[in-house]
Chain A
Amino acid sequence: ETGVTQSPTHLIKTRGQQVTLRCSSQSGHNTVSWYQQALGQGPQFIFQYYREEENGRGNFPPRFSGLQFPNYSSELNVNALELDDSALYLCASSSRDSDTGELFFGEGSRLTVL
Chain B
Amino acid sequence: AQSVTQLGSHVSVSEGALVLLRCNYSSSVPPYLFWYVQYPNQGLQLLLKYTSAATLVKGINGFEAEFKKSETSFHLTKPSAHMSDAAEYFCAVTRTGGGNKLTFGTGTQLKVEL
Give Cα distance in the complex from A46 to B74, angstroms: 25
Neighbouring B residues of A108 by C-beta, 8 Å: 42-43
CB neighbours (8 Å) of A70 from chain B are none
Give the contact-size bracket for chain B.
20 to 34
Residue contact B99 to A103, C-beta cutoff 8 Å: no
Query: In the bound complex, what is the Cα–Cα distance between A105 and B104 (angstroms)?
Result: 14
B100, A103: Cβ atoms closer than 8 Å: yes
Cross-chain contact A45 with B102 (CB below 8 angstroms): yes
The answer to whether A31 touches B107, judged by C-beta atoms less than 8 angstroms apart, is no
| Assembly CA distance A45 to B94 (angstroms) | 12
Chain A residues within an 8 Å CB radius of B92: 42
Summed over the interface, the residue pairs from A and B with CB atoms below 8 Å come to a total of 73
Interface hits, A31-64 → B, CB 8 Å = 31, 33, 35, 40-45, 48, 50, 55-56
A105 near B43 with CB under 8 A, answer yes
Interface size class of A (residues with CB under 8 A): 20 to 34
Assess whether B45 is interfacial by the CB under 8 Å rule: yes
Interface residues of B in 37-69 (CB under 8 A from A): 41-46, 49, 51
Complex alpha-carbon distance, A101 and B29, angstroms: 14
* Minimum Cβ distance to chain B for residue A63 (Å): 21
- CB < 8 Å neighbour of B103 from A45, A92, A102, A105: A45
Which 6 pairs of residues, A with B, have the shortest CB-CB distance?
A42-B104, A105-B43, A101-B94, A101-B32, A107-B43, A105-B44
